[in-house]
Structure 1
Amino acid sequence: MRNIRNKVFSSMLIFVLLVTFFNINTLEVSASRIDTEAESAILVDGDTGEILFAKNADVKLPPASMVKMMSEYLVLEAIDEGRISWDTTTQISDYAYTISADVVSSGIGLTQSKDYTVHQLYEGMAIISDNATTIALAELIAGSEGEFVRMMNAKAEEMGLPDAHFVNSTGLPNELLGENYPEGTSPTDDNLLSARSLALLAYHLVNDYPEALDFSSTITSELDGHILENLNWMLPWDNTNFAPYYFEGIDGLKTGFTTAAGYSFTGTSTRDGRRLISVVMRTDSRGARFQETKRLMEYGYGEFNEQELFPAGYQLEDQESIAVSRGREDIVEVELSEALSAMVRIGEEDAYSIQYHIDEEKLNENGELIAPIEEGEKIGTVELVYEGNANYGNILADKEGQVVDLVTTTSVDKANWFMITMGAIGDFFSGIFSSVVDTVTGWFS
């Protein structure tokens, strides 16, 4: 009997150890799926701005050439507003020429006394991250790089980029610009942005001016006999050395490197109509920034699905209707004007609820809607509420959660004077009756 008990005990112990082992390994695998070696990182849904993952995302770091995303935005805005066109030409200033002649700070040797189109210069800036072409565009748009920097910081404030600080158009530390550092800055200044700010900047760039992706996804081009090779190794290159970094659907966006910044990358990709935006800052090598981006992208597409959580016409249980004052009907039903959808982590489908926010200006002192009421009239909003364990928020400051209109399902006409009068009389006698009942009850209490 003792041997049997020992065998049973041993079997149970082995079972518990095996279960514990597999559970621990499962947790480790799950955790590693969102781990990153980058010092700072963020992953964002490119349509809603919802943050799917964040690590030290508010730490301000030198972004290096990722600064050029703002320069690109201002060039595209100038084209959109008709201030310049793709065919507008400009020549290279002494400052831009000096930068272009330095192989450390630029990849193209530009020629002075020659006309370059905006399209040519933009390709140099966007494809190979060239600094001289960026400066030339900044000077064309604003007259000087110093004035362009003021435009950059003004646009950053308009976009709501938290704590963004631009000191030049290129992302180089000012100390590398010699005496050419932009007016209004100091020779020791450097650009500073957080991963959150960079993600929001990328969000505005790809949503406001999607044509930027045509350039960021171009693998090679040519300028003045120089081959422009994209610095993004995640694109579909023929180069087998880049094969480990390829990611299906990647179409941008901007690399960055300085000694202070390390190797960084703002990436974006689209699959099945879903766009993701990621930022990794301060990785150890050129390849590491793409490997970490790939890890985040795989996590985003593998762990999240866009789902319709509450369809249009949905009615919250026990809140299907609202009382109506002075109407032919005493209540009116309400519903969602449109569907509420979100990027939902697998297994968290039940972690979402909705909350009504009724417009108080449409209610009387008793909390009733006042007739007449139109069918489909907006009487408030419906907010999607996430109640899970990994709420990173939204990069859009004014969009803590998704919101749609709360509308009425039918119209309610205003009651005529006779019905209103009879209702008032009924309320009067009802009030008297209630008072009498309360008084009599008090005698016997």
Structure 2
Amino acid sequence: VYEALEQGTISLSTPVDISDYPYKLTTNSEASNVPMEARNYTVEQLLEATMVSSANSAAIALAEKIAGSEKDFVDKMRAKLLEWGIQDATIVNTTGLNNETLGDNIYPGSKKDDENKLSAYDVAIVARNLIRDYPQVLEITKKPTSTFAGLEIHSTNYMLEGMPAYRGGIDGLKTGTTDKAGASFVGTTVEKGMRIITVVLNADQQDTNPYARFTATSALLDYISANFALKTVVQKSEAYNDSKVTVLDGKEDNVTAVAKSDISIVQRIGSGTTPTLQFTPKSTSEMAPLEEGKVVGTLTYDDQDLVGQGYLTSDKPSFEMVSEKKVEKAFFLKVWW
């Protein structure tokens, strides 16, 4: 949805007609929890209902608006996951509901009892990409309550302010529950300066503790806060060792590459590991005139203390380095000589 908004194919004020398929699901309280009697709502209203109160009918209506059908939207979802390097997921609908809830409106070739399957690692990749590319989603997911068609709707994320499992800083992201998947939650917060994403699938003790997934999430966050910290290794406008770039036809032969912004890494507390960083120029040389602040290389962090599978991407963390100052083009005779 946010990709379509960015591309301009829809806007937040775009009206969306509610087809019979998502409308009929509103009669099933397990499938959808908002009424859709008006049969026409804006993208903004449906997005709010989807992200705040897990309104599955709203999600289906958005899918139909963007792709023409839920089947075609599922194809887009599958393609996006492959683009993000996720190859072991099963996606059969837009909502995560079991197919048996959807009646005859299931993806061609899928089984009556199929449902989406993603690992915790997969879910973390999806959440990371969403928050990185469209951080505005957090303006919705941080709301404990909102309104839809004049009715107050409530978030199922009980870690938000004023909720039973409240924890300061939590601003997302999404709960999910089915008989097969159990009570699950992908959460996100900023603690000790770190943007943290947690994933809990099929939480333990959910039969006796209605807040089990949030209890587990809080325990994960406690562990992270106690064992990891953010460390700034290069401050904005500072060089790293001898990070220089050759300049051709300039009044100076080289320029210092400095950090575009503070460069910070997450380290295990007490690890004693010295951060290993490597500066790599963008090209073998830059041609004068060279503007101040132009990206001329990257500083890459080689983490020797990985946890589990390591980072969510195969690429090592890298940070942009820019020219410290402007380098004018050399006088003609100097260039000739």
TM-score (norm 2): 0.80
Amino acid at match of 2:188: T
Amino acid at match of 1:300: I
Q: 1:343 to 1:162 in 2, by over 3 A?
A: farther
For residue 220 of structure 1, report the CA deviation from its aligned partner: 1.9
In structure 2, what is the equivalent of residue 267 of structure 1? 187
Amino acid at match of 1:211: Q
Q: 1:301 to 1:209 in 2, by over 3 A?
A: same
CA deviation string 1:245-268 (max 9, x = no partner): 211011111001111101110101
Q: Find the residue that maps to 1:178 and give its secondary structure.
A: coil
In structure 2, what is the equivalent of residue 146 of structure 1? 71
CA deviation string 1:377-431 (max 9, x = no partner): 988654222223647522133x3233444979998x9xx99xx9xxxxxxxxxxx
d(CA) in 2 for partners of 1:248 and 1:390? 26
Q: State whether structure 2 residue 220 is matched by structure 1 residue 296.
A: yes
d(CA) in 2 for partners of 1:99 and 1:154? 27
For residue 185 of structure 1, report the CA deviation from its aligned partner: 3.8
For residue 356 of structure 1, report the CA deviation from its aligned partner: 4.6
Amino acid at match of 1:295: A
Q: 1:224 to 1:370 in 2, by over 3 A?
A: closer
Q: Find the residue that maps to 2:23 and give its secondary structure.
A: helix
For residue 160 of structure 1, report the CA deviation from its aligned partner: 3.2
From 85, 88, 92, the counterpart of 2:11:
85
CA deviation string 1:288-320 (max 9, x = no partner): 11011111222333433222124454454xx78
Give yes or no for contact 1:307–1:344 (8 Å, CA) kept in 2.
Answer: yes
From 95, 107, 126, the counterpart of 2:21:
95
For residue 108 of structure 1, report the CA deviation from its aligned partner: 2.6
> Which is helix-richer, 1 or 2?
1
Amino acid at match of 2:41: Y
Q: Answer 1 or 2: higher relative contact order, Cα 8 Å, separation at least 6.
A: 1
Q: 1:140 to 1:381 in 2, by over 3 A?
A: closer
Q: 1:301 to 1:187 in 2, by over 3 A?
A: same
For residue 223 of structure 1, report the CA deviation from its aligned partner: 3.2
TM-score (norm 1): 0.62
Q: Find the residue that maps to 1:120 and give its secondary structure.
A: helix
In structure 1, what is the equivalent of residue 199 of structure 2? 279
In structure 2, what is the equivalent of residue 340 of structure 1? 263
Give yes or no for contact 2:131–2:138 (8 Å, CA) kept in 1.
Answer: yes
Q: Find the residue that maps to 1:211 and give its secondary structure.
A: helix
d(CA) in 1 for partners of 2:15 and 2:325? 58
Q: State whether structure 2 residue 143 is matched by structure 1 residue 223.
A: no
In structure 2, what is the equivalent of residue 168 of structure 1? 93
Q: 1:354 to 1:263 in 2, by over 3 A?
A: same
Give yes or no for contact 1:219–1:235 (8 Å, CA) kept in 2.
Answer: yes
CA RMSD of superposed structures (Å): 3.8
Question: Structure 1: 5+ residue runs without aligned partners?
Answer: 1-73, 363-368, 421-445
Q: Number of residues paired by the alignment? A: 328
Q: Find the residue that maps to 2:157 and give its secondary structure.
A: coil
Q: Find the residue that maps to 2:230 and give its secondary structure.
A: strand
Give yes or no for contact 1:213–1:252 (8 Å, CA) kept in 2.
Answer: yes
Give yes or no for contact 1:306–1:344 (8 Å, CA) kept in 2.
Answer: yes
Give yes or no for contact 2:193–2:230 (8 Å, CA) kept in 1.
Answer: no
Give yes or no for contact 2:291–2:325 (8 Å, CA) kept in 1.
Answer: yes
Q: 1:393 to 1:96 in 2, by over 3 A?
A: same
Higher Rg: 1
